[in-house]
Structure 1
């Protein structure tokens, strides 16, 4: 098996990180064997070529997903190509990556959409090339998919709505039913974040003293989590709880809390339970996080892509477990 990992970046965004990502990608390409193939054909090794397009490689969550995908590719004897844009919100770059992969030749595509609506045309192009598509983590927009006639072999991901409900129930219980909550949302219109937010709101709506006093996007990013929550604190100094729709934003909020001299006074709940979040929970700077299992998502996605490629039956919807992580 050969594995190609590439971090695709934009020269106008985060120059230092982009150059570092480029150097890393070049080093990996130099150290791993990879042979290009014609469109629709297998690599010259004779093995199927499976592409896994992630939202970003600058996130522990997607790094774990990549590891799970690589493990499955090794066991199944397929060539895996992993590519991603520099930033999770760069749906335009993700579309370009998919287009390039379709042109160079792949046999199956696993995709974590950066935009639930925006990537639908790319999925349609894969359909026309008879390339099975497995969607991971974030669902395609149903209306946009139906209108365009987009077809997928399978979806693999967590129940994000239920995860939001779990976070909401935890905050209601931990606060004794009285809390002033600031919410850090994901990308607007992004199915994953929207579902978590909807689940959270539904969980707390019948507890009148759990009040959402501020709710704003921080685009899944740690630095934006810091800046947005810092502004929230200034506008709402009585905030005593934060729910962040992912851990990167939660960790940014923790930094803002520390900068404001309020460590230990504001309860923080995140989503994903990445390693840094788990450490923060043990340190007492984060109260809880809803754990997903991205390595399992990556493994199952590649397995189902290969099954679909072989013409074998594939489950249309695979739910990966979630659980609440708190201090032991």
Structure 2
């Protein structure tokens, strides 16, 4: 209903301005020299994940440097809630939208609505399947997936039996990390099972318990994020087995687990840097400058050694 109201309002405003295709003045981003009182609308997929908390912190800190206000909303991993949240941000008249999609397909409709209203959109960590996005700021997830598979092969040799814990279905990070992983694993490893655990620690624990029962001879686990990896470790420890687990993100809990000798490795991102780069891109867009469509934050493999 909110979305319909927003689009109807935009349509009526167009009619009252002589059928112009220009967006209403309240929806136009401030550009050029008029960059005072800029408001960023930041929609995060979930703040129940330390990675995205760090990403949010990076956005807010960088925005403060530029005297920008940030309105933060938490989708709680609910794509319908995220769409409504972003509609609300647009109705508040934000100058630019920074969106970390819960679902890359589901977010497309509101991205297109923002396009209609002339509000620039930048996505963080995950892309939108449709609509115009000024820039995607993310790690190279495909490369990170390859790094994980190469490390498992280095650790255990060819044809090692691996379980893959996949992220949320529909998220671009899930597709890309899985793609990179399988570019190597399909040639060098034996992926005996894979199942989604929605980037969630508790689901990672439960899914891992079930997959280990069906695959008792598993030799390694690759999880699409650290939260699932940490859940998998709990399941493995309860079974009394010793199975290497490789995660993805490099969040604080994961790094502590590596130091404690539990998590074997993580493909570490830099979430605060992703947030900072997204704000810098937003500032450039509002100044009318061209920005790269894909802005990459470096990755590194972290182990105890």
**What TM-score do you get using the length of structure 2 for normalisation?**
0.87
Distance 2:289 2:182 in 1: 40
Find 1:139's aligned residue among 112, 117, 127.
127
Aligned to 2:176: 195
Aligned pairs for 1:65-144 within 5 A: 65-86=55-76, 88=77, 90-141=78-129
Aligned pairs for 1:168-179 within 5 A: 168-179=149-160
Conserved? CA contact 1:41–1:105, under 8 Å: no
Deviation at 1:40, TM superposition (A): 5.2
Deviation at 1:179, TM superposition (A): 1.7
Q: Greater shift after overlay, 194-203 or 242-251? A: 194-203
Aligned to 1:57: 47
Aligned to 1:271: 248
| Aligned partner of residue 71 in structure 1, secondary structure | helix
- State yes or no: 1:166 paired with 2:147: yes
Deviation at 1:189, TM superposition (A): 2.7
Q: How many residues align?
A: 276
Runs of 4+ in 1 over 3 A off after TM superposition: 38-42
- State yes or no: 1:154 paired with 2:142: no
Distance 1:176 1:46 in 2: 57
- Structure 2's unaligned 5+ residue stretches are 1-25
- State yes or no: 1:228 paired with 2:207: yes
Distance 2:62 2:278 in 1: 9
- Per-residue displacement from partner, 1:249-304 (whole Å, max 9, x unpaired)? 00000111111122xx1010000011111111111111110011110110111111
Conserved? CA contact 1:116–1:191, under 8 Å: yes
Deviation at 1:206, TM superposition (A): 2.0
CA RMSD of aligned residues (A): 1.6
- Per-residue displacement from partner, 1:58-80 (whole Å, max 9, x unpaired)? 11101111111111111111111
Aligned pairs for 1:174-323 within 5 A: 174-207=155-188, 210-262=189-241, 265-323=242-300
| Aligned partner of residue 163 in structure 1, secondary structure | helix
Distance 2:170 2:123 in 1: 17
Conserved? CA contact 1:185–1:244, under 8 Å: yes
Distance 2:28 2:43 in 1: 17
Distance 1:97 1:136 in 2: 16
- Per-residue displacement from partner, 1:71-102 (whole Å, max 9, x unpaired)? 1111111111111122x2x1111101001111
- Per-residue displacement from partner, 1:222-269 (whole Å, max 9, x unpaired)? 00000000001111111121100000000000111111122xx10100
Distance 1:313 1:305 in 2: 10
